Amino acid sequence: MVGEVAMLARQLPRICFLSGLTGEEMMMFIDTFPETGLEPAVFAALVPNSADTPLRELVEEIMGDHEMLVKSVFTVAYMTGTFRV
């Protein structure tokens, strides 16, 4: 069971939950994150209406939003001819 969980975790992007930062500070953090050399991550900010939501639900919602964003970026790149393999 532990091995299965570890394998699944390696297949999913990391999620960074941010709290207590201004919008500008969050953007600075996200923009400079690639310079750390860490694996890419999905970023999420704690907001009042989701503060009491169970973590599993938050992760599912965040990953759903991330997948939609990735698909829309791919679609725009494909439609504009800027997509490269």
Distance CA 17, CA 23 (A): 14
pLDDT bucket at 18, cuts 50 / 70 / 90: very high
Q: Which residues contact 77 (CB under 8 A, 6 or more apart)?
A: 83
Cβ–Cβ under 8 Å, residues 13 and 40: yes
pLDDT bracket for residue 82 (50, 70, 90): low
Distance CA 39, CA 52 (A): 28
Mind listing the pLDDT tens digit for each residue in 25-69? Answer: 999 999 999 999 998 899 999 888 888 999 889 989 999 998 888
